Structure formats: C-alpha cells, structure tokens
Structure 1
Amino acid sequence: MKAGVPLTADFANGGVSFWFRQAGLPARRAALPGDRDYDVAIVGGGYTGLWTAYYLKKADPGLRVAVLEKEFAGFGASGRNGGWLSAEFAGSRKRHAKARGRQAMIDLQREMFRTVDEVIEVTRAEGIDADIHKGGVMHVATNPAQRRRLRAETAELRAWGYGEDDVRPLDRDEQRERLQVAGTLEATWSPHCARIQPAKLALGLARAVAELGVDVFEGTTVTAILPRRGAGRAAAVTTRGTVQADYVIRATEGFTASIAGQHRQWLPMNSSMIVTEPLPAEVWKHIGWSGSELLGDQAHAYIYAQRTADDRIAIGGRGVPYRYGSRTDQRGATQASTVALLWRMLVKLFPAAADARVQHAWCGVLGVPRDWCSTVHLDHATGLGWAGGYVGSGVTTTNLAGRTLRDLVLRRDTELTALPWVGRQVRQWEPEPLRWTGVQLIYALYRAADRNENDRGTTTSPYARLADLISGR
C-alpha cells in the first residue's frame, strides 16, 4: 500500500466488498443439478435478475422461474456499489427522446422518481433491513468550471421535467448546515435518492425471491445463450447442464462479455471504493451530514460518497477503468495508487477526517453500452431478453428493468413498456486494441481536464470535450 494512507490493523483489499464483510457472506445455494426446463430462465443473480424474478412470481405465482448465477446472488456490482438508490438515469436524454418523443423521456424520469420509493416499499413489505435512509443527494462544485456545469445541469433537468421540488440550488447557509465539503462554491440538492447498504439489499432480495418459489442456482456458469429456433425453445447453456425456457433473460451487466457472442456488447468498466473506520462524534461535528445525503461532485473523474449507518465515510471513483480484452477481476482488489487517490480526495473534501484510517478497499465492474444509454428489451420471436448498461446508475434502474421485463414477458401493454429505453439497440464496441486504447485515452483526457480546471479553468476544459466526443456520450 502506498505510503501516506493510514490503514486499520484489519485492513482488507478485495475479496468481497466491505458491504459483504459487514453483512456476512451468504451460505452458497446449490448449483444447477443438470438439464432443466422452465418458463423463464434468468442469467445473472444481481439486482436485475432478482427484481425480474421477484415481479414475475408476484404477478404469476404459477410461473416456473430460475436464476442462474456463476458465484452467489449479489456477488457483482449489486454487492459492491456506492449505495445510491438514486433517480439519476444513465445516458443522453435527447437520445432516449428520439425513440418515442420528448414526453416519453419525461415520463421515464418521473417513473425513476417513483421507483426510488418502490424499492423502499418492497424492502418494508419483505422485511429487508438495508440501512435505507432517504436523505436525498447533494452535488457540489469545487471550482468555477464545475460550478458552470452544475448550473447548466440544473437548467437541463428543469427542461426535462424536474420541478422546483425535484432539484434546487442550496444557499450557502443550508449547504453548510447539511454537509461541510471543503472548497464548495455551489451545491444542489434533490430529494430523489436514498442511502442503502447494497449487500443487505441483495441478500434480502435473494431470500424473498427464493421464498416466492424461484429456483436460485449458484455456482452455475452460463457459457452461451441460444435463441428459439423452429420448434425448439430458447436455452441457457451452463457448465452444469442446459436450461430450456420460453424466455431467457440476460441480466449480466458488466460480466456480459463472458458469454459467447457478447464480447463487444457492453464494456466492463471498473470502479473502486474505500471505507473508513467509524468516525467519532467530534469529527461529525465538523462535517455535519446528519441527514445522510448521498454526495457527488462535478469533476469529470467524479467521486461518489455516503455516510454509512455506522458512521463511516465510503467514497468511490474510477481506478483502472478497463482491462484489455474486456477481462474482469474476480478478486475485487483495488490498486494501491487508486486507494491513495481516493484517500486524497476524501481528505481534500473532509479535512476533519484526516486522522481516520481506511478499513477496506474494493472494486466492482459495471456495464457500459457504446452510446452510454441503458436499455431493456425482449424479443418474443427468439425468446431472448436483456436489461442493463446502467453506467453506474443501476441500483434504482434495475428495479424499473425488472418490472418492465415482467410486463414484456407477460405481454402486457403498459406505461412501462412504452418508455423510450425499451427496445433500444446500439452498436457494439470496437474490437481490440481499439477498445482498450480508446478507453485509456478517454480517461487520460478526463484526468487532464480536471487538473486543468482545478488549476485555472473557468469553463469546461477542451480535454473533456474531446473525451466526450471520442466516447460517444
């Protein structure tokens, strides 16, 4: 570990997230025992797969539903994320609006607002204690260029259906009363966000799904997904046998590239986190944060943070963003340089926490489509469906995806199936080495843009504009 980062005696890097270290690893469920037949087979035991199974069984208890998971339910991004149950939605609003019109995109955003509360209601109904606190989300600007972007973003949100109560600037007194972030020039707040403990949500949801009668098979690696052909049915081919079903739903997010034929579908992007030891009351007197708001900044290589239920600071950001060939790190370890970078950011934002020690570091992988826009889809002809490409905004979106896939599978024509992300098709990522080279260049430019803006920039750096152009955002 790099010098200068104070660590606890029991510091851990990788293996699992701090969230699972805190909640405890689940006992492994049985693997698929051989060839089986179902109405719906779901590939991936993260939030998307679990929510889809949950809503299908709630709507039709007689459906035979199976979830096929390589590791254990919640192993991936669902158990490693920053704990933002947020109404923020990935991708360009203009691109989504092209599909079905401007009002459809506004409808999608309003549905995201409602989805935050839907998740909270389900956790209450199912007895899932996930440390949920709906304190909203603060975004801060710490240099003039960031302040310009924050104001422009707020104006854009207003144009896309956000009302005065959905997002608003904070005056200096309210900003300081909520949360003392060093160097803040301006801040906004939205009520449509709640803190969660991600692993507790995944564990509770997996339990609820199993209790509904869904067969959750763990330790079962899916190698290929086959469409319906002729009189045959769609199928998920695994190392333990083949599952045939009327519908096979791919819910693999950042691990999609591991399935045959999907190597260039979604790019697996890495994000890293650190968490401190519990901080004493004296530190919190200086920081505030009594409302447990989620926190984000306006940097291009942005951070995201929360005050945990047991009074730690958990903060995350990009480390090594991408591994050549769309490889994913199964160990979840974070590079020492990334731990040091996140620590410097934490101390910069919260100088009062400078004496706190880091107890855990980890990373996770998220899925990025070529146009950076989330999608949900079901093809009744082939029997194949999918949802994902959340670009780091998936905790809430997965619930909306699960409810939408339910309606698509059951052939319901609903407000959800009319939303503009349904049926969205995007081109694949470039082959290697173009893919790796492009991602490295993009994030080098974003880091250069942040340095430029911190030093002297009053407007968004041209480095960032070039990075946006290359990335296709």
Structure 2
Amino acid sequence: MGCALNLWSTTTSATERPGLAGDRDADVAIVGAGYTGLWTAYYLAKADPSLRIVVLEAHTAGFGASGRNGGWCSALFPVSSRRLASLPGSSREAAIELHRAMQATVNEVGLVTAAEGIDCDYHKGGTIVLARTPVQLARARAEVAAAHEWGPGDLRFLEPDEVAAQVRATKVLGATFTPHCAAIHPGKLVRGLAAVVERLGVTIHEHTPVHTIEPGRAITSYGGVRADVVVRATEGFTPGLAGESRAVAPVYSLMVATEPLDAAVWERIGLADRPTFGDHRHLIIYGQRTADGRLAFGGRGAPYHFRSRIKPSYDEIPRVFKGLQATLRELFDLTEVQFTHAWGGPLGIPRDWCASVGLDRGSGLAWAGGYVGDGVSTTNLAGRTLTDLILGRDTGLVRLPWVGHRSRQWEAEPLRWLGINAGLRGMTLADMEERVTRRESRIARLMAPLVGH
C-alpha cells in the first residue's frame, strides 16, 4: 500500500500463509480471500465439511477492499429498488425481498461473528445521514418518502433536536436514520474470518495471483487448481484476469483517521451509540466512531486510472486526504484534532452499478461482486447465495433479482477513462452548483441514471 498508513491493518495482527506449490485438485476453488471468497468458503464448509475448498489470494487475506473499507455493515445495495424491479425477470416484490434480505444480513454478520468468536468491534447503531443545506433537506425528505413507497419503511426523518440526541454536527437542518447498519473493524473481521475457515478445513494460499479462470481450473504461475466449481471473488482486481479487463472499473476510495479523542471531545460530538454517519451531498462521504475512540472518515474524489490500472501509489492522494480532513473538521468543528492514518484502495464498479452473483452450471464458473463500496454485508449475502447455488439448493436467496444478473462491459479506452472521470467530477460540480444556486443540481439529475438511480 505504498507509504499510506491503514488504521485497520495497523490495529490487528496478520498471519502469513504459504503460496500454492504445484497443481492440486479441489471440489471448489475460490479466487480471492476477501469477504466474498471467505464468506463463501465459510458457508460451504459449514454446509458440507467433506468439500475440498481451496482459496487463492494474490496478496494476503483482506488485502483489497475487505481490509480497507469504512466499516459500514449496512443494508445498502448499490442500485435503487426501482432499478432492481426493472431488471429482467424481476418485480416490485422481488426488489423489496432483496431489501429485506439485506436487512437480515446485517444481523447475520453479527450472529456469526459472535458465534465464531470473531471480535470485530461489531455494534449495530444504525446510520444517520445529515441534511446541512435546504437542498439536502429536501433530498432527505424525498428519500424517506421513496423508502416508504418501496417498503419496508425502515428509513425515518429526524428533526434537528432528534439529530442532536445522536450527533452534534454543524449546520444541521435534519437527517435520515435507519437502524440497519453496524459499525465494524474491517481488518479484524476479514482476518478473523480467514482463521475460522482454516479451522473448518479450508486451505488458503496467499501470494498466489491467479491470471486465468476457465472451466474447471484456476491457473497461476505456480500451478493450477482443478475444481468442479471455480468462484471469481476478485472485486476491484477483476480487470487483472485474462478476458476480464472491462468487467468492472476499479475506482479508488480514500480514508483518514484521527488520533483517539478524549472524553470532552466525544461529549461535544456525541455518536455515543456509534451510528455510522454521512451527509446528503452528492460526492459520497462516510464515517464511524471506532471502538478505540477515533473518527474514521472516507470519501470519493480520487480519479479512475487509465486502463483500470491499480498501483500502491494510487492509495495515497494528498489533495484528497487534505480535503477529507478539512471536511471532517468542518463537520464537527474540530480545530485541534490530529490525524494519524490515511489510506485508500480500489472498489469495483460494474457498468450499470448493479452488484451480481451467479453460477453458470454448464461451465462451473461462479462469481459475485460489483458492490460499488457497499460490500461489507452484501458479501455475506453473496456467500450464502453462492453456497445454495453450488449445492443445488432451491431457496429464496437464489431467486433474488441480483442472482444471475450480468452487467454489460465497460467501454474500451479512452472512452472508459473519459466517462468515469467525467462522472466523478460531475458529483463534485453538482455539490458546487447547489451551493451557488440553492436548488437541486441539474448535473446530478443528468447523472442519476448512470449511477443506479
């Protein structure tokens, strides 16, 4: 990760695992030891302990987004219910059922981590999203109305005094609140999960980059794993696989974290129940109060890199770190606080922004991903769904509308670079437009169909 200092990796211990040494056979080969791959391995091993499951990881378990994210285990799905209902073979009822499944998944993660002894600082305090301008206030009320239209009506509007009971930020006019989110320590979760699946008999080979996935085989420079089912669980790193260069776009999200704050500061800020937080601007921001008393805060703003390149140097963009620090200081009127960590990493964005999971029974190739940053809980749902698909179970999970969905490929370069960066810049301009005009951004309305709304 270059010189960037990742809070989650510096506050948990890692276990080094040997790489693949020659060809081997398995029943299921999983490419990627992030949340998707590990949750899939976990549920498969629990369902059928006789399965030979091998996980192949290019770096170390949790190296990617699973070990770098904002720690929101939420019921958020990257596209709206309206968009889900419009997918082929879907319906309003199916979209609502997926929303309910996401809510249940937040609880499932808590139950499993407790049962397996994974101390990942899980605390279900919900999510509060602040409205800090009149335009944001109107957007917040509209979001609550839309949530009730599509049900279940779990999102509610908070008046300023209700907001102050949870968090005291600047310029607050109102907020939305949902109880369906838990704050976690991402590094503790992914590394704890890796240890659990190993105890269940799963083999994890680290430092073993897969360059080709084909029916019956995952191929590396050190040998291949032959398996009846091969699962692609590579998220933002997918373009590095042969034939997958346009499957998803790796777009970077960056984070900063403060020193542990003293009791007087927390008395002024609030967040006593550790709700995750953000506001209703267009360029996404996200934060949490960590279990050790810090503010961990992130947002978009980093560029997409030509030809989907991923490099350690892209994890750190000083102007974005500086902007995140300034935003957090302004949000809570923090003048003296010091920042001790700054890091980043790529997330995977499919062309239609819709996450998907599936299994091609003819080839034995399975996949899950395209979470657009909403993967902490969605990966758990993906792991349970892949388990049902692989074992041939006819359950409600395999009938959810994201199952079997295939996003079309991204455009070839340079159109991909131009389009994605124009979109990222557009969200910044939309916020600037609203500050000037005090009206809903025309730019944002034009961009909405392109970002899953």
Q: Quickly name the TM-score band, shorter chain normalised.
A: over 0.9
8 Å Cα contact 1:319/1:335 also seen in 2? no
Partner of 1:391: 372
Distance 1:76 1:439 in 2: 21
> Does 1:197 pair with 2:185?
yes
- Give SS of 1:421's match: coil
- Give SS of 2:410's match: coil
Partner of 1:313: 295
8 Å Cα contact 1:53/1:65 also seen in 2? yes
Partner of 1:5: none
Partner of 1:36: 24
Partner of 1:174: 162
Q: How many residues of Structure 1 are paired with residues of Structure 2 in the alignment? A: 451
Give the root-mean-square deviation of aligned CA atoms: 1.4
| Range 216-225 or range 171-180, more displaced | 171-180
Superposition pairs of residues 313-352 of structure 1, within 5 angstroms: 313-330=295-312, 333-351=315-333
- Give SS of 2:98's match: helix
8 Å Cα contact 1:16/1:332 also seen in 2? no
Deviations, residues 129-187 of structure 1 (Å, cap 9, x unaligned): 00111111001111122112111111111122222xx2211122221011011111110
Partner of 1:7: none
1:85 aligns with one of 48, 61, 73? 73
> Does 1:409 pair with 2:390?
yes
> Does 1:149 pair with 2:130?
no
Partner of 1:247: 229
- Give 1:219's aligned amino acid: H
Deviations, residues 380-419 of structure 1 (Å, cap 9, x unaligned): 1011010000011000000000000000000111000010
Partner of 2:400: 419
> Does 1:262 pair with 2:244?
yes
1:378 aligns with one of 326, 341, 359? 359
Superposed displacement of residue 445, structure 1:
1.5
Distance 1:236 1:371 in 2: 27
Superposed displacement of residue 87, structure 1:
0.6
Partner of 2:437: 456
8 Å Cα contact 1:131/1:195 also seen in 2? yes
- Give SS of 1:346's match: helix
Partner of 2:346: 365
Superposed displacement of residue 283, structure 1:
1.2
- Give SS of 1:19's match: helix
Distance 1:375 1:14 in 2: 33
Distance 2:115 2:328 in 1: 36
Deviations, residues 70-103 of structure 1 (Å, cap 9, x unaligned): 0011010000000000011111322322332111
Distance 2:147 2:449 in 1: 22
Partner of 1:129: 119
8 Å Cα contact 1:71/1:218 also seen in 2? yes
1:273 aligns with one of 239, 251, 255? 255
Superposed displacement of residue 333, structure 1:
3.1
Distance 1:186 1:107 in 2: 29
Partner of 2:8: 19
- Give 2:356's aligned amino acid: T
8 Å Cα contact 2:79/2:451 also seen in 1? no
- Give 1:141's aligned amino acid: A
Distance 2:290 2:209 in 1: 33
Superposed displacement of residue 426, structure 1:
1.6
Superposed displacement of residue 461, structure 1:
0.7
Superposed displacement of residue 439, structure 1:
1.2
Distance 2:391 2:284 in 1: 40
Distance 1:336 1:172 in 2: 34
8 Å Cα contact 1:438/1:470 also seen in 2? no
- Give 2:227's aligned amino acid: A
- Give SS of 2:418's match: helix
Partner of 1:231: none
Superposed displacement of residue 471, structure 1:
5.4
- Give 2:261's aligned amino acid: L
Distance 1:15 1:314 in 2: 15
8 Å Cα contact 2:83/2:452 also seen in 1? no
Deviations, residues 285-338 of structure 1 (Å, cap 9, x unaligned): 211111110002111112100011111111100132311110112356321101
- Give SS of 1:304's match: strand
Question: Is there any run of 5+ residues in structure 2 with no aligned partner, and where?
Answer: none
Distance 1:439 1:354 in 2: 35
Partner of 2:271: 289
Partner of 1:220: 208
Question: Is there any run of 5+ residues in structure 1 with no aligned partner, and where?
Answer: 1-11, 228-233
Partner of 2:336: 355
Distance 2:4 2:58 in 1: 16
